[in-house]
């Protein structure tokens, strides 16, 4: 178990990136589901960079604010992505 916050964030970032890449390569049949997963993981990766690398974890007010705005933005991207499937 990695105890250091920075190293743990890095391990999660690598893991999420690997999952995204492999899902895109090997699960093409389920494109829309994989797309949702990829965008969700991208959101989690951005939250990790903001909170751990950029240090927003120390300031919950800004961490939550950035998380909320980014979340709304990612929902917008998800809507645009899913539009052709409708």
Binding site for other proteins (CB under 8 A): 6-7, 9-10, 13-14, 17-18, 20-21, 23-25, 28, 31, 34-35, 38-39, 41-42, 45-46, 49-50, 52-56, 58-59, 61-62, 73, 76-77, 80-81, 83-84
Element (H, E) at 76: helix 60-82
Give me the least distance between CB of 68 and other proteins, in Å please.
14
Give the burial class of 51: count Cβ atoms within 10 A of its Cβ; 0-12 exposed, 13-18 middle, 19 or more buried. buried
Q: Which is nearer to other proteins, 1 or 72 (CB)?
A: 72
């Amino acid at each position: 178990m990695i105890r250091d916050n920075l190293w743990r964030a890095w391990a999660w970032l690598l893991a999420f990136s690997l999952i995204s890449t492999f899902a895109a390569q090997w699960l093409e049949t389920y494109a829309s589901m994989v797309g949702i997963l990829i965008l969700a993981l991208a959101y989690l990766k951005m939250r990790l960079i903001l909170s751990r690398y950029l240090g927003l974890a120390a300031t919950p007010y800004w961490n939550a604010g950035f998380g909320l705005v980014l979340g709304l933005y990612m929902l917008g991207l998800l809507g645009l992505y899913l539009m052709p499937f409708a």
